[in-house]
Amino acid sequence: MNTRNVTLLLASLLLAMSVNTASAQGKLSKAEGPISILNIAELEKQAAQKIDLGAFGYVQGGAEDEITLRGNTTAFDHKQIIPDGMAGISGVDIKTRFLGVDLASPVIIAPMAAHGLVHEQADRATIRGTARAGTMMAISTYSSVLIEDIAKSAPDAPFLFQIYMSKDDAFNEYIVNKARAAGAKGIIITVDAGVPGNREADRRNNYNYSIATPNVADFYKGRTMTQSEARALRKISFSAEDIKFIKNASGLPVLVKGILSPEAAELAIRAGADGIWVSNHGGRQLDGAPASFDMLPLIAKQVNKRVPIVFDSGVRRGSHVFKALASGADIVAVGRPALYGLILGGAEGVNDVFQQFNKELTTVMTLAGTPDIEAVKKNKLFDPVTRTIDK
Ligand SMILES: Cc1cc2nc3c(=O)[nH]c(=O)nc-3n(C[C@H](O)[C@H](O)[C@H](O)COP(=O)(O)O)c2cc1C
């Protein structure tokens, strides 16, 4: 029996054991309209009131003791922004460019599986929100809606596609070709989630993530396949060959996501990666892993501008975006904040989350005397422990 037959057999066995579909989920938000945001921390509390505890726990929670989850945001306090009211600037411009795409701001949405878990319009609303904000989202292999249907919901909106590579290369080839045909600007290979992290909120809430994964199901002859079924087919460890394979198969720029060390960044670049995505999966995978922000300068030093760096994990403020850019990132991605906006206001809510980041970033940039994103990238932060300014 060849690999494809084995995986097909496995998929059908798993399918027979499962009765879960999206309709088996609890209450889904139908919200659509502008929302008022004080800050992202408050937004999280508001979103918690709107959906079931189980679904919220899945979105908000991290692995085990959530040390990494909390550390991701508190790590931004390890560096400080020096005000500069003498820089002689007359305003700030937050526009930037990434992978040949003009963006209204340096903030994009990280790939996430759970849009359909929280909102009826799922990823369709999210992409409309990012289109309104003039930026872009990354579509997950486990998106709740087919890639091509998400793309059709906002025809001119740029997007990236994230692959959870399968042990089945036929699937890998199929899915990246489908993403390219739908208009993806790049492929993200996620390498930090070979097995799911031990997220105890789900067990405490007796919650079993069981939403359909249509992109996977479509390949396996249209049979409904849940995320846990799809996971059984997921590749657990990665090599340079995987990066080369996806580059060849897709013909698109390839970003490697889940990089948390200079060594891994080097390996990915040598294998041909077109971008490094510094992330610890929002503290959902390896608890006790360092905060993404703490590792960013070391990775940026190693990358040395050979390829662009995307940064995520724990970003909740415009000042966090600023600090990430000043520490070596070219683009900053947010995960949960976008889903909170989606829960509370659908596409408009997602747009409002971007506007909140833009507003905060604009204020910070003005006070720091940095007129544009290039100036932010050159800005030197202060380390309050060593009492030195970054070199
Ligand atoms: C609910 C949820 C689902 C996620 N699903 C995926 C996924 O399918 N693929 C992936 O590469 N990362 C996934 N991630 C991780 C995000 O891409 C990102 O790394 C993380 O959310 C960033 O941290 P933040 O939520 O603190 O901004 C998911 C994160 C969340 C919160």
Mind listing the domains of the chain with CATH numbers? 26-194+238-389 (3.20.20.70)
pLDDT of 274 over the 90 cut: yes
Binding pocket residue ranges, ligand 1, CB within 6 Å: 59, 72, 110-114, 140, 142, 162, 190, 257, 279, 281-282, 284, 312-315, 334-336
Best mutation site among 109, 277, 284 for ligand 1 pocket (most ligand atoms within 8 Å of CB): 284
pLDDT digits (tens, 9 = 90+) for 18-32: 323 333 346 789 999
pLDDT value for 267: 98
- Ligand 1 centroid, distance to 334 Cα (angstroms): 8
pLDDT digits (tens, 9 = 90+) for 239-254: 999 999 999 999 999 9
Measure Cα distances from 99 to 73, 103, 160, 332, 366 in Å. Answer: 27, 10, 10, 14, 27
CA distance 157 to 79: 34
pLDDT digits (tens, 9 = 90+) for 322-334: 999 999 999 999 9
pLDDT value for 27: 76
pLDDT value for 23: 35
Which residue's structure tokens are 């490094």?
Answer: 276
Three-state SS for 178? helix
Q: At what angle do helices 292-303 and 67-74 cross, to 10 degrees?
A: 70
* 258 DSSP β-pair partners: none
Q: Which atom of ligand 1 is nearest to the CA of 142?
A: 8
CA distance 22 to 36: 29
Q: Can you spell out the DSSP letters for 240-297?
A: HHHHHHHHHHH-S-EEEEEE-SHHHHHHHHHTT-SEEEE--GGGTS-TTPPPHHHHHH
Tokens of 382: 């202060």
Tokens of 306: 């050979």
pLDDT digits (tens, 9 = 90+) for 347-374: 999 999 999 999 999 999 999 999 999 9
